[in-house]
């Protein structure tokens, strides 16, 4: 409730009210924060599979046990660097014979261990250790990256991972499931910050099929669960948790699992594919960040029938845009719109504003000047309310920011799948704050007691009313006051940040004038209309119920943060500011801007990318305080 401004829940009614459940959760974008969000919104008690390496850490292990974690060993956590380098002498005649350069296979490797290549290029089980420089693996490594690494003249470095016996872990999982409880699994095997899911591990399907094979009357269900963050590493961002349709365990796959061997492997793969398809229905998956940004821009420009969308509806609409773009990306009209959206985004970056701020620029200079001064006044008022709590928490902001970035660099260096390691930032911010904030407030409270007891002469009139209180009462009152000031700063600070973001477009209108900013407004309007028209044309071809669901379907049942007197006070401040703006708009009157139809009738130019001139940018940079 503090780190995230809002967490919306979608389709929570699909969670079975009783009986064993395996929650398959993806994408794993927020390390130890993801389990907490599921725990708070699953409406069932959940036991988690947690990396044993994390459980062995003192601080993190304590919280892992509090969240009912079931430790599971991962081979990458136990892998050690192998001595020397390895290579394939003859990949055609002897594709399973590995040769070593400066290696000591007989001392370091035993049958059953695994050899891991760098950057997840490949791995293989050791079948036979022949000598210090030769060993045989169970099967050929056919991955292109593995072949390239092993056929280098000087070989490749490698790691050695011991064989892991997971019997105790499986027994613990089966025991929980047989008691009708829930297990939470992150099947990607680790957290990451990619825009698409990693390949799922087969462990979840082994658990599901194995538990059902032991108890055919178990009634186990798998619930695909999608976690979608707007800005996973940022304080006071938003998130959506989406529960998918429960998946029953097919009994024909259970029978194949009982047969063992290749039939068992095929059964696990089939169930894994079913689970993967279910997860894709509740997650956002794009090949790269550029595509994700393009899709999000298109979704913002699209005009739904509802005046505004809830957060869960925005995520569902983005998911549908991804599917539509994947199907129709090669159409000429889609390519044209893609280029126009990229031009529009580039122009927004030139101006330094966001898409939702363009509407603010539909005013003249007089109107913009009045609104600019009005919002600066309210920014000053809200800033004064938020200032004391902000100053109190400056050490928290600094320490959490520096420490979390350091941990992100360490995680990035140790990972082969992370892009920027943003998946660990929120976790470390929260963990550090859980220790630092109580400690800091305790120091403030002790200083308050000392100040009251040893107040100088000039401060006697101010501390007089509390001087007779016992020290413990002064300590508790100071603790409460620090907490109250911090939360007040949090709520009013959010309102102040929203105002700051709205000041930039008004300032640009003042500097550039209506004539220049109107081009950007008109470009957005034309682009929005064209995207809406194309989506309404192509949408029914993918979603037959498009015409109905576009108007009637409720895509999410949002649960927002709790309301209290501080939130209501901040909202009242914001309403007063908006009422004052309405009065300003009525006093000044509408701006004489031509309608879209009038521009079309007058041979209006085609609005393309139109960045401000260098002289204009120099003028902005020299004047703008932002």
Q: Does residue 36 register a pLDDT over 60?
A: yes
Least confident of 111-115, 186-190, 435-439: 186-190
Confidence (pLDDT) at 436 = 92
What is the per-residue pLDDT for 575?
Answer: 65
Q: What is the mean pLDDT of residues 64-85?
A: 82
> Residue 548: pLDDT band by 50, 70, 90 thresholds?
very low
Q: What's residue 479's pLDDT?
A: 93
Residue 563 is predicted with a pLDDT of 43
Question: How does DSSP assign 334-366, residue by residue?
Answer: HHHHHHHHHHHHHHHHHHT--GGGGGGGSS-HH
**β pairing state of 21-26 and 182-185:** parallel
List the single range of 174-183, 218-227, 422-431 with lowest mean pLDDT: 422-431
Mean pLDDT of 94-99: 90
Which region holds residue 136: left if phi is over 0, alpha if psi is between -120 and 50, else beta? Answer: beta
Q: Specify the pLDDT at position 595.
A: 39
Q: pLDDT digits over 317-356, tens only?
A: 888 888 888 888 889 999 999 998 988 888 887 777 788 7
Give dist(CA 139, CA 131) in Å, integer.
19
Contact 341, 298 (CB under 8 A): yes
- For residue 547, is pLDDT > 70? no
Q: Which of 54-63, 111-120, 158-167, 285-294 has the lowest mean pLDDT?
A: 54-63
Give me the pLDDT at residue 623, please.
52
Q: Cα separation of 25 and 46, whole Å?
A: 12
pTM of the model: 0.73
Instruction: Specify the pLDDT at position 481.
Output: 92
pLDDT digits (tens, 9 = 90+) for 211-257: 999 999 999 999 999 988 887 778 778 888 889 999 999 999 999 99
Interior angle at CA 90, CA 86 and CA 94, nearest 5: 95
Angle subtended at Cα 286 by Cα 283 and Cα 290, rounded to the nearest 5 degrees: 135
Mean pLDDT, all residues of the chain: 81
- Residue 414 scores a pLDDT above 90: no
353-410, pLDDT tens digit by residue?
788 778 766 667 777 788 788 888 888 888 888 889 989 999 999 999 899 889 888 8
pLDDT at 141 over 80: yes
**For residue 570, what pLDDT is reported?**
58
pLDDT of 558 higher than 90: no
**Does the structure show a pLDDT above 50 at 209?**
yes
Show the DSSP H helices in 302-424 as ranges. 311-328, 332-351, 365-392, 394-414
Q: Is it the case that residue 138 has pLDDT exceeding 50?
A: yes
Q: Which CA distances in Å does 559 have to 199, 217, 335, 426, 614?
A: 31, 35, 38, 21, 47
> What pLDDT band is residue 15 in, cutting at 50, 70 and 90?
very high
pLDDT reading at 459 higher than 70? yes
The answer to which of 181-185, 454-458, 596-600 has the lowest mean pLDDT is 596-600
The answer to whether residue 599 scores a pLDDT higher than 50 is no
**Integer Cα distance of 192 and 194 in angstroms:** 6
Per-residue model confidence (pLDDT) at position 598: 45
Contact 32/431 with Cβ under 8 angstroms?
yes
Percent of the chain with pLDDT over 90: 22
State which H helix or E strand residue 71 sits in.
Answer: strand 69-72
Given this model, what pLDDT does residue 395 score? 93
Q: Rounded CA gap, 234 and 249, in Å?
A: 38
Strand partners, 98: 88, 135
Q: How far apart are CA 125 and CA 128, in angstroms?
A: 9
Assess whether pLDDT exceeds 60 at residue 612: no
């Amino acid at each position: 409730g503090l780190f995230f401004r809002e967490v919306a829940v979608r389709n929570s009614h699909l969670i079975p009210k009783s009986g064993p459940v395996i929650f398959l959760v993806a994408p794993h974008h927020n390390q130890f924060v993801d389990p907490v969000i599921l725990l708070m919104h699953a409406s069932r008690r959940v036991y988690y599979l947690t990396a044993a390496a994390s459980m062995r850490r003192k601080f993190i292990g304590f919280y892992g046990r509090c969240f009912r974690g079931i430790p599971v060993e991962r081979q990458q956590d136990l892998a050690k660097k192998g001595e020397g380098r390895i290579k394939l002498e003859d990949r055609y005649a002897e594709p399973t014979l590995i040769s070593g350069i400066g290696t000591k296979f007989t001392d370091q490797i035993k049958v059953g261990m695994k050899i891991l290549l760098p950057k997840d290029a490949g791995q293989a089980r050791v079948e036979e250790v022949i000598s210090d420089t030769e060993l045989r693996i169970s099967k050929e490594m056919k991955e292109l990256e593995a072949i390239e690494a092993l056929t280098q003249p000087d070989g490749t470095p490698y790691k050695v991972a011991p064989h892991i016996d997971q019997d105790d872990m499986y027994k613990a999982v089966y025991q929980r499931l047989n008691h009708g409880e829930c297990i939470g699994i992150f099947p990607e095997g680790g957290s990451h910050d990619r825009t698409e899911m990693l390949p799922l591990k087969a462990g979840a399907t082994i658990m599901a099929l194995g538990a059902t094979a032991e108890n055919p009357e178990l009634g186990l269900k798998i619930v695909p669960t999608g976690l979608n963050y707007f800005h996973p590493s940022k304080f006071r961002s938003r998130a959506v948790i989406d529960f998918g349709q429960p998946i029953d365990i097919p009994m024909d796959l259970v029978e194949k699992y009982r047969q063992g061997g290749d039939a068992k492997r095929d059964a696990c793969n089939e169930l894994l594919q079913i689970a993967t398809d279910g997860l894709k229905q509740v997650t956002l998956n794009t090949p790269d960040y550029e595509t994700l940004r393009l899709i999000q821009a298109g979704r913002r420009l699209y005009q739904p029938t509802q005046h505004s969308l809830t957060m869960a509806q925005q995520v569902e609409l983005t998911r549908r845009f991804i599917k539509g773009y994947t199907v129709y990306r090669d159409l000429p009209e889609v390519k044209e719109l893609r280029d126009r959206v990229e031009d529009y985004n580039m122009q927004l970056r030139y101006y330094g504003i966001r898409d939702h701020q363009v509407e603010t620029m539909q005013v003249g200079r007089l109107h913009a000047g009045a609104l600019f001064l009005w919002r600066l006044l309210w920014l000053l008022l809200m800033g004064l309310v938020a200032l004391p709590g902000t100053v109190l928490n400056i050490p928290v902001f600094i320490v959490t920011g520096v420490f979390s970035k350091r941990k992100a660099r360490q995680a990035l260096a140790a990972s082969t799948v992370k892009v920027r390691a943003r998946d660990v930032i929120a976790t470390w911010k929260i963990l550090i704050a859980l220790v630092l904030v109580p400690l800091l407030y305790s120091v403030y409270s002790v200083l308050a007691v000392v100040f009251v007891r040893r107040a100088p002469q000039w401060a006697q009139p101010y501390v007089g009313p509390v001087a007779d209180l016992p020290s413990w009462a002064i300590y508790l009152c100071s603790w409460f006051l620090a907490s109250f000031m911090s939360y007040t700063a949090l709520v009013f600070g959010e309102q102040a940040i929203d105002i700051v973001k709205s000041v930039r477009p008004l300032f640009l209108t003042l500097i550039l004038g209506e004539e220049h900013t109107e081009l950007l407004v008109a470009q957005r309007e034309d682009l929005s209309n064209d995207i809406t028209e194309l989506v309404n044309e192509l949408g029914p071809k993918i979603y037959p119920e498009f015409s109905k669901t576009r108007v009637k379907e409720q895509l999410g049942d949002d649960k927002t943060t709790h309301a209290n007197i501080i939130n209501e006070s901040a909202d009242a401040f914001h309403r007063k500011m908006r009422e004052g703006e309405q009065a300003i708009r009525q006093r000044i009157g509408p701006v004489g801007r031509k309608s879209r139809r009038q521009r079309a009738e007058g041979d209006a130019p085609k609005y393309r990318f139109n960045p401000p001139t260098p002289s204009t940018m120099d003028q902005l940079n020299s004047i703008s305080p932002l």
